[in-house]
Amino acid sequence: MTVPSDNSLPDKGQQRAGMADKGDDAASLLIEDPSLEALREILFSHYRQQIADLEAELAEIERRISDKDALIAMLSPVLGDAIRQKIRDARAEMVEALYPVIGQTIVRAVNEAVRNLARSIDAQMRTSFDLGRIIRRLKARVSGVSNAEMALREALPFDVEEVFLIHRETGLLLRHISCELEALPDTDLISGMLTAIRDFAQEAFGRGEEGQLDEIQYGNRRIVIEAARYTYLAVVVDGIEPPDFRSEIRQLAIEINLTHEEALRNYEGDSTSFVAVDESLKSLFTTTTPPQQLSAGQKRALAGILGVTTLCLAAACLGSGWVWQAIHSTPTPIIIMPPTATFTSTPTTTPEPTFTATSTAAPTSTATPTFTPTPTHTASPSPTLSATSTPTSTPTPAPVFGQMIGSVWLRQAPSAASPRLGVVLKEGQSVEILAAFEEWYQVRWKPQAQAEVIGWVPARWVGVSAPERIVTPAP
Amino acid sequence: MTVKLSKKVCLLGDFAVGKTSLVRRFVYNRFDDKYISTIGVKVSRKTVAVPRDDEIVELTMMLWDLAGSEEFNRVRASYLRGLSGAILVCDLTRSKTLENLTAYTHDLRDIDPAAKIIIAANKGDLLKQHQITRTQVEETANKLDAVFYVTSAQTGGEVENLFRHLGRLLV
């Protein structure tokens, strides 16, 4: 057995280098070999074409995505179908997602309709006149609402009594607020049963639709229900709620769900984590008496009312001052001017035709014969008052004087219902009795030389009996 | 330290197995039983104190007593939503009522696979009329991955323990 010398054996490094050289040679042979290239062409040309096509498609897609108009043109044909399919498969989710947009639009439309109704009622009310309505109008103006709204509000009293925040799926009570100091017992059982009734109604009457029980009524009270994704609010109200009340509940329910979404989704039965919601729930109780800032119009109206009130007070003060002066100072309300020919329709020998003048000036006096002197009276033998103002052959009798035995108002006609002349004849004053009619005397009082007052006073306050000649016959 | 928790628990079982009797005697009951026959459910309350770690949990179980009659089969699924646990009640004097517990369990699992289940084999006091043996109940319980108690609404036997055990499962 021969053993090769050390020099004849290649070391391991040389062996590896030799193998590498051989490999490179082989590779170069593969590349350069046209038959292999032809084989490669046969095997991969199909894939190369596909890759080229895909690259072209990718470029086109990138172009469309970056071009907004092209993207819209691409999506439009399928968008409608996609939405329809999504609504069919997940209606609740779609409703929840679209509610903030569609819900607000619907609420706005309904509000507009209600406002139109209120306007028409308002127009009707403006055309009628009634003291109560005037007061309501003022109240409405100050409150910042329309007359119709105020009228409706007065006609429809409303109170919030209880508010339940209930976990929709479990029916567990999360929070409860009551307007009463003594809370309703077993509110957790009520919330459970309420949820059961809702479920039952949905199952029994829903017929596969997404509707839900949103109100239960018993007597004047109602349970108004508004649901959000994880909870629902059940509000016990008495009377008719204001127009925005339901949307306010709905908004509150949604807000609570958004704020506590995580806790509600994984609710484990600890309601103390929702204590902060109480304040929001309490806001529903204040809905009945909303605090309102006065608008510029309201402020103007209020200022106007205050101004008018001030003027009225000033006028009242002035008026009362004048009356006080009239009572306590020398009365000169009726100044009888010296007679003129125009006051007497017939010639008279009486130097003072004042009676005729005052009589004709007072339309109420025509009820009595004394105020309607006619020429025929002259021929009448009866001793009428007009006799003094008409020509007569009878000598003028001496005037009859009396003294007041009490203070009394002088009146325009012989009746307590007759208007006062603004003069009080005081006890002790001397008066001339001109005529007598039933229990009344017509008297003349001359406080000053140039002025005199004629009127009627009750006979019992004049300390003298009228002679028969001046008694006026009954009408 | 005491923590307060509330859980929804459903009582399920065939007609006349004694669900309502369990509720009537051992649970705070405000509403009339007529609700069960009208809308298929009545809600009652059972509160138990359950230890958890180093605290006591005051657990309020809102018990939804579901009608066993078939007419409410459809609405029953709605009532099961959101439950945390269930008491499956069978009548030891009627073997069919035990068999049907499997179907109720399937309904429950469809709604919530993690719901805690406990079996009440009721009418334990009517020994002479029993058609179901304790072994059979045990087999069913094992199959449904649940514990069981032989209870008697009549005598009150094991009823409190049943609720307490379920309480422990729930917290």
Residue A411 has pLDDT above 80, yes or no: yes
Q: Do A269 and B79 touch (CB under 8 A)?
A: no
**At A110, which amino acid appears?**
V
Res. A278 pLDDT band, cuts 50 70 90: very high
Instruction: Read off the pLDDT of residues A31-85 as tens digits, 9 standing for 90 and up.
Output: 567 888 888 888 888 888 899 999 999 998 888 888 888 888 888 888 888 888 8
Q: What integer pLDDT is reported at residue A389 of this predicted model?
A: 42
Between A49 and A207, whose confidence is greater? A49
pLDDT score, position A46: 87
- Interface check for A173 against chain B (CB to CB < 8 A): the answer is yes
Predicted confidence at residue A376, as pLDDT, reads: 41
**Rounded mean pLDDT of chain A?**
74
- The answer to whether A236 touches A162, Cβ cutoff 8 Å, is yes
Q: Is residue A428 part of a domain?
A: yes
- Which of A161, A122, A151, A158 has the alpha carbon at shortest distance from A245? A158
- A295 falls within a domain: no
Give the Cα separation of B104 and B109 in Å (integer). 9
pLDDT on residue A381: 43
Q: Are A202 and A168 in contact (CB under 8 A)?
A: no
**A109 — pLDDT class (breaks 50, 70, 90):** confident
Of residues B30, B35, B40, nearest to A186 (C-beta): B30
Q: Which residues pair with A444 in a beta bridge?
A: A432, A454
Answer whether residue A439 is part of any domain. Answer: yes
Task: Domain of residue A365: give its range.
Answer: 341-391+398-470
The residue among A409, A419, A402 whose CA lies nearest residue A457 is A409
- Which string of b and e fits A29-59 if b means at least 16 CB within 10 Å? eeeeeeeeeeeeeeeeeeeeeeeeeeeeeee
pLDDT of A320 higher than 50: yes
Distance between A270 CA and the closest CA of chain B, angstroms: 5
Q: A175 vs chain B: nearest CA distance in angstroms? A: 12
Question: What is the chain A residue with the closest CA to B82?
Answer: A170
- The answer to whether B91 touches B127, Cβ cutoff 8 Å, is no
Chain B neighbors of A168, CB-CB under 8 A: 82
Q: Does residue A75 lie within any of the structural domains?
A: no
Can you give the pLDDT at residue B143?
A: 94
Dihedral, A101, A107, A109, A112 alpha carbons, nearest 10:
-140
| Any B CB within 8 A of A204 CB | yes
Strands (E), chain B: 2-13, 41-52, 55-66, 85-91, 116-122, 147-150
Could you say which of A169, A193, A197 has the minimum Cβ distance to residue B81?
A169
Question: Which tops the pLDDT comparison, A188 or A452?
Answer: A188
Structure confidence at residue A475 as a pLDDT band (50, 70, 90) = very low
Q: Distance between the two ends of chain B, CA-based, in angstroms?
A: 15
Does position A133 have pLDDT exceeding 80, yes or no? Answer: no
Q: Is position A165 within any domain? A: no
Report pLDDT for B138. Answer: 95
Per-residue pLDDT, A127: 64
Alpha helices in A67-130 (DSSP H): 68-89, 91-126
User: Is the pLDDT confidence value at A305 over 60?
Assistant: yes
Q: Give me the amino acid identity at A35.
A: S
Nearest CB to B43 within list A167, A193, A200: A193
Who has greater pLDDT, A287 or A185? A185
- A-contacting residues of B 58-97, CB under 8 Å? 60, 62, 64, 74-75, 78-79, 81-84
Tokens of A283: 């806001």
Q: Are A76 and A64 in contact (CB under 8 A)?
A: no
Number of domains comprising chain A = 1
The DSSP code sequence of A387-441 is: GGGS--SSPPPPPEEEEBSS-EEEESSSSTTSPEEEEEEPTT-EEEEEEEETTEE
A120 or A279, greater pLDDT: A279
Rounded to a whole number of angstroms, the distance from the CA of A176 to the nearest CA of chain B is 15
Which residue in A172, A196, A270 is closest to B79 by CB distance? A196
Q: Is position A262 within any domain?
A: no
Q: In this predicted model, which residue has the larger pLDDT, B118 or A314?
A: B118
**pLDDT computed for residue A298 by the predictor:** 66
Inter-chain contacts counted by CB atoms under 8 A, chains A and B? 74
Out of A167, A202, A272, the one facing B78 most closely (by C-beta) is A202
pLDDT band at A424 (very low <50, low <70, confident <90, very high): confident
Q: How would you label B82-108 residue by residue, b for 16+ Cβ within 10 Å and e otherwise?
A: bbbbbbbbbbbbbeebbebbeebbeeb
CB contact (8 A) between residue B8 and residue A171: yes
Chain A residues closer than 8 Å to B30 by CB: 186, 189
pLDDT the model gives residue A353: 41
Which CATH number goes with the domain that contains A374? Answer: 2.30.30.40
Mean pLDDT of the region A391-412: 74
Average pLDDT over residues A394-420: 80
Sorted by where each starts, the structural domains of chain B and their CATH numbers stand as 2-170 (3.40.50.300)
Contacts of A272 in chain B (CB under 8 A): 4
Residue A327 has pLDDT above 70, yes or no: no
Could you list the pLDDT tens digit for every one of the 171 residues in chain B? 789 999 999 999 999 999 989 888 788 877 877 888 788 899 999 999 999 888 999 999 999 999 888 778 778 888 999 999 999 999 999 999 999 999 999 999 999 999 999 999 999 999 999 999 999 999 999 999 999 999 999 899 899 999 999 999 999
**Is B37's Cβ below 8 Å from some Cβ in A?**
no
Question: Could A269 and B7 be called an inter-chain contact, meaning their C-beta atoms sit closer than 8 Å?
Answer: yes
Mutate to test the interface with A, among B43, B55, B64, B80 (most CBs of A within 10 A): B43
Q: Do B60 and A188 touch (CB under 8 A)?
A: yes
d(CA B82, CA A361): 95
Virtual torsion, Cα A42, A43, A49, A52, nearest 10 deg: -130
pLDDT for residue A103: 78
Nearest CA in chain B to A270: B5
pLDDT of residue A347: 42
Question: What local confidence, expressed as pLDDT, does residue A364 receive?
Answer: 39
Contact present, B95 and B78 (Cβ < 8 Å): no
> Is residue A392 predicted with pLDDT exceeding 70?
no
| pLDDT at residue A466 tops 60 | yes
